Each structure stands twice: as C-alpha cells, then as structure tokens.
Amino acid sequence: MKIVIVGGGICGLGASLLLARDHHDVTLLERDGSPLPESPQAAWELWERKGVAQFRQPHNFMPGLRLLLEAELPDLQDAFRQHGATKYDLVNPLPALFSDRSTRPIDEKLWTLTARRPLGEWVFAQAAARQRGLTIDRGVQVKELLTGPAVLPGVPHVAGVKTADGREFDADLVIDATGRQSQSIAWLAAIGARPPHQEQADCGFTYYTRYFSGKIPQRLAPTLSHLGTISILTLPGDNDTWSVTIFTASGDHELKRLRHEEPWMKTIRACPIHSHWLEGKAISEVLPMGGIVDRYRRFLVEAKPISTGFVAIADAWACTNPSAGRGLTIGMLHALLLRDVLRTAGENHASLVHDFDRRTEEEMTPWYRAQLARDRARFAEMEALREGRKPGPLSDDLARDIESLFLTMIADPDLFRLAMEYLGTITSIQRILERPGVRETIRKAREGLKDAPVRIPGPNRQQLLELLA
C-alpha cells in the first residue's frame, strides 16, 4: 500500500517505521525544515522544532513504550541505551513503608529507558532516515487533501495530499500525525466531509519547567506530587540530566511569577522531599508552557465514516494534559494498532476505517477518558483550594475509581504495582478494575486507612503566596 504520513514527530516517525517494515511504501511529510542534527547533544542545543510546542518540555518514555519497542523496533531500544537514556524503574526501590519487599512477575514490565524529547526524536529520526521503503521530505507543508472515486456512496475518498508549493502526493492512505496542531477538520471540510465528532476544552494547566545536570537525584516523593494549588513533576532525562516542573491552574494569576527563576527556585526549596532535585547544574531557564487543550475526535458519525482513505493517530486523534507523561506511549500504541488493522483490512477502505475506529474505541479511548476524569478532578481541587473552599466529593465514577486506587496504593504492595501498571501505560485503569477481586481489595484497603491520606510536605497556599511575593 502507498501511504503518506503527515507529521514527522516521534509518533509520525514511529508509525512510518512500523509501516515501512511491514512492506508498505511510505512517504513522510514534515512541515519543519530543520535538518536532523549530527548528535543527541546537538539535538538538545540546536534543533529548532517550531511545530512541536513542547519540544523542550518534559517527556517520559513509559514502560508500555519500552515493551513495544523491544517487541517491534528493538534497534531503537538499543539506540536509546547506546546514547545515554536513563533506566527508570517504577517499583525499584519500593516505598520504604512496605515490609514485603519480595518481587512479583509484573516487576519486569515496570521499568523503562527514558530521555529528553530531543534525544528521543533524534533516535527515531535516525532510524527512519536509514529505513528502506521510507522517504522523508522535510520543510513541506500540506495544505489540502486530494480526492478520488468514492468507495462508499456520499462519502469523500482521500487519495493523497497537495502541499503549499503545489506538489501532489498520491496515496492509498493518508495518516494525520501532526499532533495537537492538527488541521484535519479543515482539510476534511474542504473536500465535503461531514464534521467529525469532537470534544474540546482547555485543560486549565500552565507548566513551568527547568532542566538540570549532574547525578540524578534519589526519588523520595511520587514522580507527580500534588501539593495544594501546585503540582510538582520530577523526571530523569538522558545523559545525567533531569527536569523539574511546577504546574498550576492557568487562571491562578497569583502564581504567574513562577515563570521567573528566583520564585521558582524558592518554591522548590520549600518542598522538603523535592528540594534535593535542585542539587545540580541548571542547564535551562524556567520554560513556561500553557494553552494545552484536551481534545478527542471520532471520524465515524452515527456509525458512518465521514471519509475513507484517511485516518488520524496519536495527538491528532486525542490529546490531554501532558503531565501524566503518556502521550508518546499512547501515540505509538495507536500507530501499532493501525499497522495491525492494515494487516487484516488491506485495501478494503470501508473495513479499514470501521475496524480502526472500533479498535481505537476499545483500546485507546479508555486512556483518554481516564486522564480527562483525573485532570478535571485535580483542576476542581486546585480551584477550590485557591478560593479557600474545601474540595467537594468527586462526582465522576471514573475519577473516584482512580482516586481510590491512588489512595490505597500505599497500603498494599500489590495495589502499588497495579497503580504503576496503570501509570506506566501497560494496562488501562478500566481493565485493571475488571480483574477479579481488585475492587474488593481496594475497598478493604480504603476501610483500613483510618487516618487522613498522607500529605506531601510543602508550603500551604498562604506560604506559597509569600514565597512568590
């Protein structure tokens, strides 16, 4: 099959590798014209990826992605190891509060090799540049879709793309991998397609990140820690680097000074089990990022495709608050799902869009729904605390389920591992809760937690405002 992929980020590159190695003829079109740097360090220092707003924001290559790479693209996993990716183990060490330190079979899945985004994309791009059956064209902006004879009555069929410089690329399948900035709705409208189903809202968070180098600090707190009206995210990178991120509700204007170095540093120093993450050499300024949307699209409406010959993957399909660190992993799992659907559907375009939609809903959408529920619950908590109110009970069933697992993970080493299996993007929370006995174990553990939930030490709201004054 002749395939055009629009978007050369990690998920577009990953999809192109999976499909080219499955003997498809793949052309990858990337809008940014910056050439591939000579080394990972040059990628960090010099690579301009204007189309990727979060290029130098934190990323995590989750255990779920490590397992995918080992099974499908093992040379990339070897390249990560060779070029300085850091081993990040979700269960080693276990929290000190567990007396049972014995291992479990799941432990072998709960580690990964992780890196900063520039190194990660460089590794994928290096592999793609060498791949037979894959052509990469950088500095190319797709402006519109080309159409061919309809496959289904009244449904436009995509047969390629046209670029801003007037070139046309014919294709049996066009894949949108352009991420959060996807223009596919406008492209499809221009060829007469019905609007897809879309849900969209600002996720309500702003991020302030700084990078450091040195000896990677010991993990004393959860990787993502909630402290009242702020959250702190600490992630190892590659080659003895790491990032520290503070994120806030976007409407919390009193915390906007976190974009400046001195108040940002004072805030982290005021957090006893996070302050040691500053014990390194700062290698960046404070890097702010906002304007992140939660968005979900479905390209079947009332069980009928809005087009054939076209699919969207990864963030071009659905995206959420990036602090969970699952975006790259979910995107690559989605690309793998598409490859598998193509193996069975072949050039039957009607089967392709139906099967891809069905499997996306079954296997990928649960991750989106869970993160959305968690984000909205956290945002509501932040808003209540900012306004001096006690946060109310969660009204969303899925958010309550997630909270129950996270509250009880400190009570039982097996519940802890279930939480890591979810956080590590191995199994969705919905499927974990379907396992026999899991809900009952969580219920009993929650009853046994007689004391208030453990509070991560750090400044309260008033102290935080004084730090930033």
Return the pLDDT at 451: 62
- CA 272 – CA 458 distance, rounded (Å): 7
- Domains, the chain, in order of start with CATH, read 1-59+116-201+293-363 (3.50.50.60), 202-291+462-468 (3.30.70), 374-454 (no CATH)
Amino acid 137 reads D
The residues that bridge with 435 in the sheet, in sequence order, are none
CA angle 357, 360, 365 (to 5 degrees): 125
Q: Which residue has the tokens 């984000």?
A: 375
* Contact by Cβ (8 Å): 91, 239: no
Return the pLDDT at 203: 65
Residue 78 has phi, psi (to 5 degrees) of -65, -40
- CA 135 – CA 120 distance, rounded (Å): 20
Amino acid 180 reads R
Give Cβ neighbours of residue 295 (< 8 Å, ≥ 6 apart).
Answer: 180, 198, 199, 200, 201, 318, 319
Token pair for 234: 């600490």
Beta strand 155-163 with 168-170 is antiparallel
The residues that bridge with 86 in the sheet, in sequence order, are 114
Return the pLDDT at 455: 83
What is the Rg, in whole angstroms, of the alpha carbon atoms belonging to the chain? 23
Show pLDDT as tens, one digit a residue, over the chain (469 residues): 999 999 999 999 999 999 999 999 999 999 999 999 999 999 999 998 988 878 888 889 999 999 999 999 999 999 999 999 999 999 998 988 899 999 999 999 999 999 999 999 999 999 999 999 999 999 999 999 999 999 999 999 999 999 999 999 999 999 999 999 999 999 999 999 999 999 987 768 999 999 999 999 999 999 999 999 999 999 999 999 999 999 999 889 999 999 999 999 999 999 999 999 999 999 999 999 987 778 999 999 999 999 999 999 999 999 988 878 899 999 999 999 999 999 999 889 999 999 999 999 999 999 999 999 999 999 999 999 999 999 999 989 999 999 999 999 999 999 999 999 999 999 999 999 999 999 999 999 998 886 656 789 999 999 999 999 8
Dump strand ranges (E) for 73-177.
Answer: 86-89, 111-114, 134-138, 142-152, 155-163, 168-170, 173-176
Please give the C-alpha separations between residue 136 and each of 9, 12, 30, 280, in angstroms, as whole numbers.
Answer: 12, 11, 8, 38
What is this structure's pTM? Answer: 0.96
